[in-house]
Structure 1
Amino acid sequence: MKLISALFILLFVFVAANAQGGHEYAPIQEKEIKYKDWTFNDYGDSDKTNLRSFAEGKKLVMVVYFAPWCPNWHNEKPVAERLYAKYKNSGLAVIGVNEYGSLDELKSNLSESAVSFPIVVESEKRENKQTTTHYGYRKTTGDARNWGSPYNVFLEPSKLKKKGDVLTEKTFIVNGELIEAEAEKFIRQKLGLPATETAKPVAINASKTDVCKPTIGLKKP
């Protein structure tokens, strides 16, 4: 009975969240996905970040793929920042992966509201959409959105393969915006923290937001 009640509540939250105009909330799901190690250029300097090395010593890593011009990323960005700030000292790491937007667009996005977690760059052009690893992963996990921004992948470093290109063949993903209350509950569980009844409710903007389109949010030169 308790399990049925919990599932009903989660379903209610998910449906209610998606009923809000313009948001693309999605639940956390475990999916089969051959998620590979990567090395991408860091934003802001000339260094590179290797994911396997980045994950060392962490309990949970959230990789969030995003297009900097996408309103749905603008919605999730403060959520990801809150979760990172709250749980980074408990073993959570977050890293953003820029997709389909130029460095100028990324700079503009971060100037509006910065994040304290690192960001790397896989692609910078709209034309790259169907050639990125991001595109391949989200199609594998059933993401039917046009641009797939944001797209979240949770990795448990203790379960990742130590060698080879493939880090894991099954993990938890989100085909859309995080549902904050659900994400916080999931993170606490994976970090070995006690359950809490004070998790924040789903963060919903009061104004209607258009879904992710490449012409929205761009500033004229």
Structure 2
Amino acid sequence: MSSERLALSLFQEHSMKFAFSLAFILFTATLAFAQGGNEQSPIVEKEIVYKDWTFKNVQTGAETGLRNFAAGKKLVMVVYFAPWCPNWKHDVKFVEAMYQKYHSAGFDVIAIAEYDPVESMKSHILEYKLTFPVVWESDARTAKQTTSHYEMRKSVGDTRSWGSPWYIFLESGKLEPSGSVIAKKAPIVNGELIQPEAEKFIREKLGMAPSSEVKLSSTAAVEVCDPEKPSASLVKPDAKKP
């Protein structure tokens, strides 16, 4: 075989390998995209020492205690989030929709904002027209490993860096009657909600029949929650702000 033919053969072989590798990468990315996001996680009941807390409302500054908030409710969804996190932005409209749809049936939502200045939290509430209460625990990224959010989610196996969003559901009749601990076992979600599963769960806990109108997960692209990742859809928090 001449040197020219040998070179052409090697070029064609490497080109085919490259094309195959590229096709495999694209297939994998498409499959992940079709499955609806990067960090969706099922609702799983876990043993947890979930403590009562009192935090300030983002908009009013008034203090809200969780035990008092949960009193008389059939089901309370507690969600921790960072306003700048795209993974939370994947869930936020669904959470608001569930609140609007089932609030009158005994379902409630309270959100705890983390790792961002309070003014940014206020802007986030206005941008997404949130009507459920939002309180805040921390207002800087540097507080990540000192928050109760970090402690609680790590205790139930959340291995993500920021853990936004993170959910815990409090059910009527299953809460500790008094003391600093409000729940010793609860359904939790270490990631974004699987939306059909979440609505089915909410309806079940409210004593309602399954719905045939369950909203499917968004097919929009979702990014892993990372404040260091440059993106047009992710505004990096200013570390200099308190």
Q: In which range does the TM-score fall when normalised by the shorter chain?
A: 0.7 to 0.9
What aligned pairs does 1:175-194 form with structure 2 within 5 A after superposition? 175-194=190-209
| C-alpha displacement of 1:209 | 2.9
Q: Which residue of 2 aligns with 1:87?
A: 102
- Percent of residue pairs bearing the same amino acid type: 50
| C-alpha displacement of 1:69 | 0.7
Q: Does 1:137 align with 2:152?
A: yes
What aligned pairs does 1:93-108 form with structure 2 within 5 A after superposition? 93-108=108-123
| C-alpha displacement of 1:144 | 0.8
Aligned with 2:217 (options 199, 202, 206): 202
Q: Does 1:211 align with 2:224?
A: yes
Q: Does 1:119 align with 2:137?
A: no
In our comparison, the structure showing a higher alpha carbon Rg is 2
Instruction: Name the SS for the 1:69 alignment partner.
Output: coil
Further displaced range: 106-115 or 45-54: 106-115
Q: Does 1:148 align with 2:166?
A: no
Tell me, in whole angstroms, the C-alpha distance in 1 between the residues paired with 2:184 and 2:39: 26
Q: CA RMSD in A?
A: 1.9
Tell me, in whole angstroms, the C-alpha distance in 2 between the residues paired with 1:42 and 1:52: 15
The one-character-per-residue Cα deviations of 1:177-219 (angstroms, maximum 9, x if unpaired) are 11110000000000001122331222331xx332111243248
Tell me, in whole angstroms, the C-alpha distance in 2 between the residues paired with 1:113 and 1:17: 26
Residue-pair matches, total: 204
Unpaired runs of 5+ residues, structure 2, are: 1-30, 229-233
Q: Does 1:64 align with 2:79?
A: yes
Tell me, in whole angstroms, the C-alpha distance in 1 between the residues paired with 2:170 and 2:137: 18
Contact 1:31-1:141 at 8 Å conserved across structures: yes
| C-alpha displacement of 1:114 | 1.8
Tell me, in whole angstroms, the C-alpha distance in 2 between the residues paired with 1:127 and 1:22: 27
Q: Which residue of 2 aligns with 1:7?
A: none
Further displaced range: 134-143 or 194-203: 194-203
Instruction: Name the SS for the 2:45 alignment partner.
Output: strand
Letter in 1 for 2:88: W
Contact 2:33-2:219 at 8 Å conserved across structures: no
Residues 49/144 of structure 1: CA separation in 2 closer, same or farther (3 Å cut): same
Q: Which residue of 2 aligns with 1:13?
A: none
Instruction: Name the SS for the 2:89 alignment partner.
Output: helix
Contact 2:75-2:206 at 8 Å conserved across structures: yes
Letter in 2 for 1:104: E
The one-character-per-residue Cα deviations of 1:78-105 (angstroms, maximum 9, x if unpaired) are 0100111100000000001011111122
Tell me, in whole angstroms, the C-alpha distance in 1 between the residues paired with 2:191 and 2:36: 14
Residues 17/174 of structure 1: CA separation in 2 closer, same or farther (3 Å cut): farther
Q: Which residue of 1 aligns with 2:181?
A: 166
Could you list the structure 1 runs, at least 4 aligned residues long, displaced by more than 6 angstroms after superposition.
none
Tell me, in whole angstroms, the C-alpha distance in 2 between the residues paired with 1:171 and 1:21: 25
Tell me, in whole angstroms, the C-alpha distance in 2 between the residues paired with 1:44 and 1:198: 33
Q: Which residue of 2 aligns with 1:5?
A: none
Q: Which residue of 1 aligns with 2:91?
A: 76
Tell me, in whole angstroms, the C-alpha distance in 2 between the residues paired with 1:123 and 1:145: 18
